[in-house]
Structure 1
Amino acid sequence: MDLDRHPLAHLRRHNHWSGEDLARLLRDQARRRGLRSGIDRNRIWLWETGRATPTEESQLLLADVLGVPTAAIEQLRWPDWLPAFEQSAPFSPSGSRAALREVQITRMDRRSFLVLSSSALIEVAADWARIEPRHLSQALDGQHVDEELLTWLEQRSGELRTLAAGPHPQVCTLIDAHLNIAIDLITQGRHPSAAGRRLHAVAADLAHCAAWLRFDADRHADAQRHWQAAVHAAHQAGNRDLAAVALSDLAYQATWLSRPADAIRVLEHARSRTRTAAARALLDVRRARACAVLQDHQGTQRALTSAETELDRIHPNDTPPVISWMSVADVNADAGRCWLDLGDPGRARAAIDSGLGELDPRRSRTKAVFLTYRAEGSLHNRDASATAAAARAALDTALDSGATRCIDLASALIRRLDNRTEQPMIELRDYARERLAA
């Protein structure tokens, strides 16, 4: 096997480990387990060149070092369980087709293992910020795409986006089916450049929806692939705002998974080419969130002020559908989350309450997240009754939405209250056990 392509070699270089460094880490882990190991750098080299396969014991040691659940070893063969990173595709017609085909590949999703490293994630954003969309080729091998089919796909895309906002478990399958059709037409069809741009716009919209559904299901690697595909397709369609929004979603995911510094760098590139105030407002709010996690008070305040300024400039007529939901409710509630992170629960509570009061009631997943923020704010204020009431509402809303990410967020907050002896907290724990067991 090619040394440069083996995932273990890639992981080792990514962590700046020499062969001897990794061998020493494995021997240390063996000692902690009460075992003896003779792993040396030559053994590592044999694994990376495919001349030998690690024993089951060695793979368990390696999983410990890499922080990989042992279940992954059982489910996936060596070396497929290694959380190696993929490389980003170039922003060219062929590169974008490759990124789109990636989401058609059926694979076991390893949930929290991201496919893009920090450098690769930022490279996607930087490449997009540098490159202007190119015209698609006048013809691709395959069949002609007629106007009737193209119009039908565009209409269905809009309808599916609307359905994706609600608690409709079947919508993910429908979106995947239509996305596969669009990708097949792009990669196999023959059409003029105008039709090609429309097809890419459909693919971008559907990939973006599919990514959010996977993110809400805690399928992070799969979500990342779909967001990257959305950036590529939007780029080929010439839709800067959709590409920027998809990049901002990648940044939001990075913050959610404790990589806020990556998020800020991605957002810097993404904002450089936005066209509408709504898109800039969203990117500013997400930058504020990342700054708050990093305890950057000034950066948070600047980003929130900019978001409010852009919000005042929004005109519904020039706001693309992908960002039409952006409102003062989102700015306020996310600002509240920022103040919580920065240790100002009083200011946070007022902002979160304002955001919840103005939120579109159909946005159940967003409401569940905001209610969890309210509960955390009440916890900071040592208000047991308010904390229990908000946490119960958050759990109910999350369960009704069916979004694993929201359920996990509310459940994690409730687990933090296990040592609390106030009556409202005891009743909350009993209620949560019943609801989660149902």
Structure 2
Amino acid sequence: MNPDHFLSQSRGRRIDASTQTRIDAYLTHLLGMNIALGSGPTRARAEEVFTFITTLIADATYDESTGTKLYELASTAAGFAGWAAFDSNDSSAAQTHYRNALHLARTSGAADLEVLFAAGLARQQCGIGRPTAALELLSGVDASVRCSRNARAVAAHRAVSAQAHAMLGNAVPQNRAMDAARAALEHDEVPEALTFTSWITRSVIELELGGVLLHADRPRQALRHFDVLDTGAYPAVEHPRDGVIHLACAAQAYLGTGDVEAAVFYAHRAQDLLDRVSSARAWRRVAGLRRAFSAHRRAPVVRDYLGRAMA
């Protein structure tokens, strides 16, 4: 899809469901690229398609049903751009995009999208050390959570709540929120087609909580959530960008417990995937892991890993 050409053809003209279908297919294509490669090749395109849709909303003509769908697609594109900015370590842009996504979701009455992107924005707030702000955001969409029929969006909301509570050291609400996230996914079926909530699985919410606990300097607790990396529940090869991050976190957690050999094992697994992705978050995570290993350079297995990682 060439947005500039399409806009020149659509400005002032009436558009219909076929336009929605083309935009939806393009966003799904970008989502597949993002899962496989990271945000490097997709962020600019996501921002471009968001601008494209909002220009259509302003300049084209359409019926009420088409208008509602265009607002939903604009919300999805903004949320995608927010995620891509977050993955690029651009927290300010991520916050702007996520807030746009929330506004558009509310305008279109899309409770599922509102819940999903509130979770994304709350996750971004956790990422910049603002767990209390994250919890306030999440509580602000409780009514939409009750209305949502998307189990995965609800699970994301509950899981990010657990992460925020973990950062604050609130064990009881952390466990309660995680139990709610697991329960939301208990009877959810695997989607037949790729969607913007496909990534929200039981294994992913466990891994992300493990990463938060690691950042809170609780490596032994974190390791309880990383065991899905070895059970086959999380296919890291199919999600290389996130696989790098989770494997590197597991390595650092083992290092924090003094198990250097296990840490090196997971570090090599992360390195196996690193060259396949374009993600500032993934590269930053591995760079932090290399620094953590520097205190253990005397161990031959560490020297071998660092030699490979720095090559």
TM-score of the two chains, using structure 1 as the length reference: 0.61
Which letter maps to 2:18?
E
> What is the CA–CA distance in structure 2 between the aligned matches of 1:278 and 1:319, rounded to whole Å?
14
8 A contact 2:223–2:253 mirrored in 1? yes
Query: Where do residues 355-434 of structure 1 align in structure 2 (5 Å cutoff)?
Result: 355=229, 357-360=232-235, 361-420=237-296, 421-434=298-311
More helix per residue: 1 or 2? 2
> What is the CA–CA distance in structure 1 between the aligned matches of 2:27 and 2:208, rounded to whole Å?
28
> What is the CA–CA distance in structure 2 between the aligned matches of 1:283 and 1:223, rounded to whole Å?
17
Residues 1:399 and 1:269: Cα distance change in structure 2 (over 3 Å): farther
> What is the CA–CA distance in structure 2 between the aligned matches of 1:416 and 1:144, rounded to whole Å?
58
* Partner residue of 2:29 out of 137, 154, 159: 159
1:360-404 CA deviation, whole Å, 9 max, x = no partner?
Answer: 432222211211221122112211111122223324424421101
Counterpart position of 1:126: none
> What is the CA–CA distance in structure 1 between the aligned matches of 2:17 and 2:224, rounded to whole Å?
51
Counterpart position of 2:83: 212
Which letter maps to 1:365?
R
> What is the CA–CA distance in structure 2 between the aligned matches of 1:313 and 1:148, rounded to whole Å?
33
Report the structure number with the largest CA radius of gyration. Answer: 1
> What is the CA–CA distance in structure 1 between the aligned matches of 2:91 and 2:153, rounded to whole Å?
23
Residues 1:419 and 1:350: Cα distance change in structure 2 (over 3 Å): same
Once the two structures are overlaid, the 10-residue window that deviates more, 401-410 or 388-397, is 388-397
8 A contact 1:231–1:243 mirrored in 2? yes
8 A contact 2:203–2:234 mirrored in 1? yes
For residue 341 of structure 1, report the CA deviation from its aligned partner: 5.4
For residue 347 of structure 1, report the CA deviation from its aligned partner: 4.8
Query: Where do residues 177-216 of structure 1 align in structure 2 (5 Å cutoff)?
Result: 177-216=48-87
For residue 355 of structure 1, report the CA deviation from its aligned partner: 4.6
8 A contact 1:207–1:229 mirrored in 2? yes
- Structure 1 residue runs of 5 or longer lacking an equivalent are 1-140
Q: State the identity %.
A: 21
Which letter maps to 2:305?
L
Query: Where do residues 43-82 of structure 1 align in structure 2 (5 Å cutoff)?
Result: none
8 A contact 2:158–2:180 mirrored in 1? yes
Which letter maps to 1:184?
T
Query: Where do residues 7-406 of structure 1 align in structure 2 (5 Å cutoff)?
Result: 142-167=12-37, 169-274=40-145, 275=148, 276-315=150-189, 321-340=195-214, 345-355=219-229, 357-360=232-235, 361-406=237-282
8 A contact 1:340–1:377 mirrored in 2? yes
8 A contact 2:255–2:263 mirrored in 1? yes
- Structure 2 residue runs of 5 or longer lacking an equivalent are 1-10
SS at match of 2:294: coil
Which letter maps to 2:233?
E
Which letter maps to 1:429?
L
8 A contact 2:249–2:285 mirrored in 1? no
Which letter maps to 1:154?
D
Q: Which has the higher contact order (CA 8 A, sep 6+)?
A: 2
Which letter maps to 2:23?
L
Which letter maps to 1:394?
A
1:115-140 CA deviation, whole Å, 9 max, x = no partner?
Answer: xxxxxxxxxxxxxxxxxxxxxxxxxx
> What is the CA–CA distance in structure 2 between the aligned matches of 1:400 and 1:343, rounded to whole Å?
29
> What is the CA–CA distance in structure 2 between the aligned matches of 1:270 and 1:355, rounded to whole Å?
32
1:59-96 CA deviation, whole Å, 9 max, x = no partner?
Answer: xxxxxxxxxxxxxxxxxxxxxxxxxxxxxxxxxxxxxx
